[in-house]
Structure formats: structure tokens, C-alpha cells
Amino acid sequence: MEFAFVSGNPALDLAATVGSRRDEPVDLLATPGDLERWVARCGELPDRVTADPATFESALALREAIYRLALDRVLGRRFDPGSLAIVNAAAAGPVLTIELGDGGLRMSGDLRAVLSHLARSAMAVLADPHACLKECGRAGCTRIYLDRSRGARRTWCGMDQCGNRVKAAAYRARRRSGRRDRGDGLAHPGGPA
Ligand SMILES: [Zn+2]
């Protein structure tokens, strides 16, 4: 699995660094170095931060709190109080420095400021009554994303990650059942067309 930024919000992208949460969770942030790479890849964050072990642990706790609150929102439940406390505390941290230039925005700050920014991004989407949060339609993905499409008709977190995979699997299943309908090719000595 590669880092993917398809959730429409960086906090949701952070939560999705654990995939297949209900079956066999895959954690893409196994080490502080993984988190540094993730921050560098995320378009809304500074190009370079250093992750010390303690702040790395805070980042993982924030990630799980964001995921829990997003899931609460998807399921129409009340927010989990412990997760609210973690996100609120992170948001009260230092802020990123933002500079506007001809090349657009330049963000700088340390990992604490990054976590504060991510907590604030999570708050913005979780507090928005019009934000349409969904879980990806591919069984086993479990990524929660912000559906901004007209009429909120998106089914997948991303076409590359999931949509095309589901469509390809459905195509293979149709071909298999088509062969079964013809008697597994037995009626056709030449095998399936
Ligand atoms: Zn997906």
C-alpha cells in the first residue's frame, strides 16, 4: 500500500494510513520516518518535519481519535468523548506559519504545529453539517472520505485505489460465471473463448 491523498481532507487522509481496519489492519505509519514521509507527501503540510518518538506517539493517538470521530459521524452517533478530548487538545497546539508567494502558499512549522493543523482540519469537516462523509464502498478499504461530488454520488475513495479494483474484480467474476454457464468449458473442448 502507498500513501494516498484522496479523502478530500488531510485529517481523513491521516486516518486512512491504517487500511483494512476491520479485517487485517495495515498500518502505513510504522515508524517516525514513515510519518515524516507522509507529512512531506501531503500537499497541505510543510515539506520537512522531524518526528521524535513522543510526538510520533501523539500523532498516532490523534490519528485514531480522528478516525473514531469520523466514523461516529458516518454512523450518525454522538462523538466519542475521549477522542474529542484528544482532537481538541491537539488543535490548541502551536500553528503552522503560512506565507503567500507567487508560487502559492508555503507552510512551515514543526510536527506539533502539523498535528494542530490536522486537528483543526478534522474539526472543520466534522463540524460542517453539509459535509458528506462516507466510507469507501470497497469491502475491506474502510477509508472515510469527503464526497464533494454533485448529488454526493461517489462510491469509492478513489478510482485507482478502489473503484477500478472493484470493477476489475466484478469483470473477472462475470467471466468466471459466464464460463460456468457454458459448463466450465467442457462443452467447448477448445476451452473458454
Ligand atoms: Zn477505498
Average pLDDT of the segment spanning 53-80: 98
Cα-atom radius of gyration of the chain, to the nearest Å? 21
Q: Which residue has the cell 467447448?
A: 188
Average pLDDT of the segment spanning 63-92: 98
Cα of 51 from ligand 1 centre, angstroms: 28
Residue predicted with more confidence, 110 or 181: 110
Q: Which residue has the cell 484522496?
A: 6
Question: Would you call 144 helix, strand, or coil by DSSP?
Answer: strand
pLDDT (tens digit, 9 = 90+) per residue, 99-130? 999 989 999 999 999 999 999 999 999 999 99
Q: Residues lining ligand 1 (ion), CB within 5 A?
A: 136, 138, 141, 143, 157, 161-162
Please answer whether residues 35 and 29 qualify as being in contact, where contact means their C-beta atoms are separated by less than 8 angstroms: yes
> What is the value of pTM for the model shown?
0.88
Cα of 63 from ligand 1 centre, angstroms: 18
Give percent of the chain with pLDDT exceeding 70: 93
Please answer whether residues 12 and 66 qualify as being in contact, where contact means their C-beta atoms are separated by less than 8 angstroms: yes
Residue 154 confidence (pLDDT) above 60? yes
Cα of 166 from ligand 1 centre, angstroms: 10
Cα of 150 from ligand 1 centre, angstroms: 19
Cα of 125 from ligand 1 centre, angstroms: 19
Pairing of strands 97-101, 104-108: antiparallel
Please answer whether residues 137 and 165 qualify as being in contact, where contact means their C-beta atoms are separated by less than 8 angstroms: no
Residue 184 confidence (pLDDT) above 60? no
